Structure 1
Amino acid sequence: MRETELMLAGYGLTTAEIFYRMPDHRNVLNTFVWQEYDLAPDYPALFRFIEFWQEKIEGPLHSVRFTHRKLIHPGEWRNVVGEFRLN
């Protein structure tokens, strides 16, 4: 789906800051920023990504901080037909 269709379907932009330990240096924390359109309050895309990280990436997770924002609400969208030009 396109981004506008996702937003009209109730999706919002989820941004996660992932803190993880370096595989060779366990005392060093690094960060990774992840963004995707996701559905609150279950966040299926975020949890799929975290599961992928735990299965495939060597750097163990330390913590995850995330925020979610709906950019367009279904009630805010109007289809405008026509155009006015002012010279």
Structure 2
Amino acid sequence: MPRSETELMLKGYGLTTAEMYYRMPDHQSVLNSFVWQDYDLAPDYPKLFGFIEFWQEKLDGPLHSVRFTHRKMIRAGEWRNVVQEFRLN
């Protein structure tokens, strides 16, 4: 069942961005890059490492290196439930 981005952020997921450098299958001396983004859980990063495993098993271009960053979009002190709003004229 797909979840909304807000639900994922409230459950502790953060936006993970990875830049992968890989060698071209036919030209091993040429490096190319690919950028991947998804919501993932730190510090285990199951989605990122799952994608890297998929790459190594299914794709022909061998990985040279992977650089990634992770940022939580909602932190503990930034979310509050507003129950009622008062307007002053």
Fold shared, TM-score > 0.5 on shorter chain: yes
Percent of residue pairs bearing the same amino acid type = 74
* Structure 1 unmatched runs, 5+: none
TM-score w.r.t. length of structure 1: 0.91
Deviation string, structure 1 residues 14-43 (Cα, Å, up to 9, x no partner): 000000000000000000000000000000
RMSD: 1.6
| Structure 1 segments of 4+ aligned residues over 3 angstroms from their partners | 81-86
Helix, strand or coil at the partner of 1:24: coil
- Give the stretch that moved more between structures: 54-63 or 66-75: 66-75
Aligned to 2:61: 59
Residues 35-64 of structure 1, C-alpha deviations (whole Å, 9 max, x = no match): 000000000000000000001110000000
Question: Which residues in structure 2 correspond to 1:1-87 (within 5 Å)?
Answer: 1-80=3-82, 81-82=84-85, 84=87
Alignment TM-score, normalising by the size of structure 2: 0.89
| Count of residue correspondences | 86
Unaligned runs of 5+ in 2: none
Equivalent residue letter for 1:61: L
Over 3 Å counting, the alpha-carbon distance change for 1:85 and 1:35 in structure 2 is: farther
